[in-house]
Amino acid sequence: MLNDYTDVTAAFVTEVTDEAVRNADELIDQVVGAAPTYDGILGRMQEAAAVVADASGRGAFMARVHPDRAVRNAATEAEERLITWSTDLVFRRDLYEALQRFATSGEAATLTGERKRLLEHTLRDFQRAGHHLDDVARTELQRLRRRLVELEVEFGRNLDEWDDGLELSRDQLAGLPDQYVDGLRAVGEDVYRVSMAYPDYIPFMKQAHDRELRRALQHKFWNRADELNRPLLEEAVRLRIDIARILGWSTWAEFAMDVKMAGSPKAVDDFYDSVVPGLTDKARNELAVMGDVEPIRGDIDEVRSWDTTYLDNLQRLRDYGIDHNEVAAYFPLEAVVGGMFEVTGDVFGLSYERIAESRAWHPDVALYAISNHGSSEPVAYFYADLFPRDGKYGHAAAFSVTYGRANPDGTYSKPVAAIVANFTKPTAAAPSLLKHDEALTLWHEFGHILHFCLTTAEVHRFSGYETEWDFVEAPSQIMENWMWEPEVLRRFARHYETGEPIPADLVARLVAARDLNVGLFTMRQVYLGMLDLGMHAVTEAPDLMDVYRRAYEYTLLPFHEGTFFPAGFGHLMGGYDAGYYGYLWARVYGDDMFSEFARLGLTSPEVGARYRTEVLARGGTRDAADMVRAFLGREPSTQAFLERLGIPPAAG
């Protein structure tokens, strides 16, 4: 059943949340007094969790997308309340005792497959909530976890609501195309506002000729919500250390990674040790070349952070003849979406249909049904909210609306997800034209959508992308590979005015330039991972500015003085704490899995069916490493990943 968001009000969000909490509490109360059976204990607990998750999709999700600030504020409060409810659940002693009664029952001993895994994971959740501790310690632990939820929600709200930018004349926008300027908000005669939204910020940093203005805009961007969010982040880091200590762990990273693929900070350190030296050498060489690019050579003493994407853009034009605006002309949003549907439809046996009446939260939002080939019955739905608005989530992400799972009455709730992004909005003169990296972002996020929507999991706990957090990016990383394949690009990339397919020569140059400065930009990923670990792989609360400065050294660039980027780095408070390394970690598995398509057929339905069955449909019902082995038919390897980065494998 699809939700109707057309008349959502702040009062509605609150009402939905109140009702969900009441219903979920009733179910949990029934669990406490139930006989020790699967249906009475685990089944009912999953039903309660699904009630809360559905309410989040109906109400709390509006904090990210609704155009009405009052609704967003109510939804933020709802989000905090629902997360707190879920967090508190594992601290209930009566629920833990009911679970223990079932765990020692005869029926529990006969569980297999997903149900056995559910029992194991649920017991683990309660153990990690400190039920081995005394009442005083457990109460303090619950208080800290509640406060952490408050901080994380407030941090995200501050970022979503942050509004800053530069007001510039057309002359100051030299280097930017007319279509970009047409999409800016005019704030006076010949005066335009360049905001912090990605469609404003990223092209400006790539193409604006005025170096000082690039520095000024980056300075603002790297200080988003600093005054509001820095103290929240500092407190969150302290709380995480305290929580880990109470539970008997040395660091938050050890506690968090215990349930991830990596297993421990040592495994992540080893991973970085295997790639950072080669990447560092590569990045140094790239920086030396970048500093010699006209018209910069001789104008500055060294490349700075506000120069890198601009110089990279000049290099692509100089060395490969790639003009991002020329490339974008072949990637109108509608064609990119159509190509994405065509390719994934062929590979995974899917059909897509746009629903005429979306009943969404904004007129720009489209709703699509996903069906299996030859079937008129959808298996899932997803919303596409792709253009920026004031107060909207500022990046690109996939959000859950309804989890796929088996219901007590024997029916199956169809998954519903939402892809939220901020691409340039169409104008009267031109459609939304995507830079190639924006098209990559769209395909990346669609990987999350497919992972969520193609689930066959029985229970909410393992549905969709509810897998190990350092694997969750692999099904999205793999999607990016198709956007570099000439035979794929030629299927849908057409000029928005002439309809001519993208020239083979342009595709060849685009692909040839794929790994230009890959070392430098991958080292930025390393820096962000090290920033995260510097805050969370420690036994005492660190000076966050010191952590920021030390981690930034991995970029090989001079520090941008007067900035505090972590205050605007939502991942630190959005689930990737002690887990940001997962982006690079997951690329290993994404590249390795894509090697099967490269070996047997880029759009092979046979490989696609195997990948859908063994990975996408599984969700969290098996360990991620086992899913990858089942798909590959061998042990995972770093070979494809290292070849992609141009790093020779370590000897030995």
CA distance 72 to 70: 5
Residue with tokens 């046996």: 349
Cβ burial, residue 368 (10 Å; 0-12/13-18/19+): buried
Indicate the Cα dihedral angle 36, 37, 41, 46, nearest 10°.
170
Q: Quick check: is 445 catalytic? A: yes
Amino acid in position 180: Y
The distance in angstroms from the start CA to the end CA of the chain is: 56
The distance from CA 100 to its chain's CA centroid, rounded to whole angstroms, is: 35
Indicate the burial class of 468 (C-beta count within 10 angstroms; 0-12, 13-18, 19 or more): buried
Question: 487 near 502, Cβ under 8 Å?
Answer: no
Residues in Cβ contact with 643 at an 8 Å cutoff, skipping those fewer than 6 apart:
none
Q: Is 515 left (phi over 0), alpha (psi -120 to 50) or beta?
A: alpha
3-state secondary structure 578-625: CCCCHHHHHHHHHHHHHHHHHHHCCCCHHHHHHHHHHHHCCCCCCCHH
Nearest by Cα to 2 from 457, 349, 356, 342: 356
Catalytic residue (choose from 152, 445, 473, 485):
445
Q: What is the DSSP letter of 366?
A: E
Segment (H or E) for 417: strand 416-420
Q: Which residues make Cβ contacts (< 8 Å) with residue 29, sequence separation at least 6?
A: none
Residues 6+ apart with CB under 8 A from 114: 457, 458, 459, 462, 621
Angle at 243 between CA 237 and CA 246, to 5 degrees: 140
The Cα 83–Cα 150 span in angstroms is: 9
CB 19 within 8 A of CB 55: yes
Residue 538 CA to residue 519 CA, distance in Å, equals 28
What pairs with residue 103 in β-bridges? none
- Catalytic amino acids? 445
